[in-house]
Amino acid sequence: MFHSSYIEISKSALHNNINFIKQQIGPQVQLSSVIKGNAYGHGIEVFGPLAQDCGITHFAVFSADEALRLQESLPSPATIMIMGFLDNPELEWAIQHDIEFFVFEPERLLEAAKAAGKAGKKAKVHIELETGMNRTGFDPAELHQLKEMLHEHRQYVQLQGLCTHYAGAESSENHHRILAQQKNFLALRKSFQESSLTPSQIHTACSAAMMGYTDTHMDMVRVGIMQYGFWPSPEMYTDYMSRNDMQQDPLKLLINWKSSIMSLKHVPQGDYIGYGASYQAPRDMKIAVIPVGYAWGYSRSLSNQGQVLIQGLKAGVVGIVNMNVMMVDVTDIPGVQKGNEVVLLGKQGDQSISVASFSELSSQLNYELLTRLPLNIPRFVVP
């Protein structure tokens, strides 16, 4: 093994999660599998074909380079939708390859019409509307112009979708903002209908909106984090579990990020461990050195906080996470040996580590840690 860690991706877990998501949306609503951020760190080239094998036919990416990587790795054709970055030179390429894309500015609509003319093929666009997130989306003030442009360029621009994105549906703190966004969106949708503009697919929901606001499902949901087995926030997880009186998480983590113990060491009580004075041994301790650090995406914010699994037991990170190594406390793990498997994320025995389980830390850390897993950690599919 040339690498100090590797990632296993479980096919049965993905099957399980897709089934769970499909139960939430029913047979009439399409599922778009969101694979931006290198498939939330799982690896586009590994995850794409696996998802297709599990019945996924629609994918959402952030940018043109992700669309290209996905397209090249899929064994059969699928719909690919770019939600974010696509530069003018790539527009024609996207249109030629039937890649759909979000349009949130008048200039992009014009450029798309131009590129479609050159390609001799219609651009399939999803018009993103500003409803209150204030990120991307046509402002109400631009609406009149937008509708005129859609009519004017209908020979080359196909209105494939009408969409928006919610600003934090995973937290009840944002409840009123989400309801206001929904209301705004419905009004805008109506005004499109009244202008004889009929998009094929109306879509607004991410994972959290799908779970928390069933009205948001419409024709299609764009689901990222939950396919990978993570809940959008601990709050959503506990809500769901108590509402349904369940004991066991219906989602399963796909990812198992594994390394092994590189070295063991005894540290006497009172000594500091690692750089600086962030951790002082409260007793005589046994420490395992793990050859993974922030250079491989193990966040520095997990210093003195993170946990790993060794011999089916939890071991806490002690001291600062270094660039290439970190230290964990194995004092209470009997028979621990150099070379023992270490699980950084995922399951070992009947224990499991997901970043959100460190409850004091932001729930956003799941997204962040996953997407920072470097491309060069080897990834393997397991049954």
Ligand X SMILES: *Cc1c(COP(=O)(O)O)cnc(C)c1O
Residue 128 beta carbon to ligand X: minimum distance, rounded to whole angstroms: 8
Per CB under 6 A, contacts with ligand X among 282-321 are: none
Spatial neighbors of 173 by CB under 8 A, at least 6 apart, are: none
Write down the catalytic residue from 22, 183, 190, 275: 275
CA distance 99 to 35: 15
Binder of ligand X out of 18, 44, 83, 273 (CB under 6 A): 83
Residue numbers belonging to the annotated binding site for substrate: 135, 323
Residue type, 382: V
Q: Where are the alpha helices (DSSP H) in 128-280?
A: 143-152, 175-194, 207-212, 234-243
Nearer Cβ to ligand X (185/279): 185
Q: Give the binding range for ligand X (CB under 6 A) out of 192-200, 218-226, 244-252, 305-313.
A: 218-226
Spatial neighbors of 32 by CB under 8 A, at least 6 apart, are: 58, 59, 60, 81, 203, 220, 221, 222, 223
207: contact with ligand X by CB under 6 A:
yes
Q: How far is CA 124 from CA 131, 156, 162, 360, in A?
A: 22, 9, 11, 43
Three-state DSSP at 42 gives: coil
Q: Give the binding range for ligand X (CB under 6 A) out of 172-180, 222-230, 248-256, 373-381.
A: 222-230
Using CB under 6 A as the criterion, what x/- string covers residues 24-43 for binding ligand X? ----------x-x-------
Nearer Cβ to ligand X (239/264): 239
In DSSP terms, which residues pair with 313 in a beta bridge? 310
Q: Is residue 2 within 8 Å of 36, Cβ to Cβ?
A: no
Per the document, the length of the chain is 383
Residue 356 beta carbon to ligand X: minimum distance, rounded to whole angstroms: 13
Alpha carbon 191 to chain centroid, angstroms: 32
Nearer Cβ to ligand X (47/156): 47
- Whether 314 is a known active-site residue: answer no
With tokens 């799982």, the residue in question is 42
Binder of ligand X out of 137, 232, 306, 319 (CB under 6 A): 232
Nearer Cβ to ligand X (69/165): 165
Q: Kindly write down the DSSP assignment for every residue of 251-262, as one continuous string.
A: ----EEEEEE--
Q: Give the binding range for ligand X (CB under 6 A) out of 6-14, 221-229, 267-275, 330-338.
A: 221-229
Residue 256 beta carbon to ligand X: minimum distance, rounded to whole angstroms: 20
Nearer Cβ to ligand X (153/222): 222
- Whether 36 is a known active-site residue: answer yes
Torsional class of 148: left (φ above 0), alpha (ψ -120 to 50), beta (otherwise) = alpha
CA distance 286 to 340: 14
Residue numbers belonging to the annotated binding site: 135, 323
Nearer Cβ to ligand X (35/328): 35
CA distance 205 to 218: 8
CA distance 304 to 99: 45
Q: Give the binding range for ligand X (CB under 6 A) out of 200-208, 248-256, 301-309, 353-361.
A: 200-208
Other C-beta atoms closer than 10 Å to the C-beta of 363 total: 20
Q: Give the binding range for ligand X (CB under 6 A) out of 182-190, 220-228, 263-271, 285-293.
A: 220-228
Residue 249 beta carbon to ligand X: minimum distance, rounded to whole angstroms: 17
222: contact with ligand X by CB under 6 A:
yes
Nearer Cβ to ligand X (82/91): 82
Write down the catalytic residue from 36, 124, 147, 258: 36
Per CB under 6 A, contacts with ligand X among 165-194 are: 165
Q: Is residue 201 within 8 Å of 221, Cβ to Cβ?
A: no
Query: Which of 153, 132, 143, 136 has its CA nearest to residue 195?
Result: 143
Residues marked as catalytic: 36, 275
Binding site for ligand X (CB under 6 A): 34, 36, 83, 165, 206-208, 222-225, 232
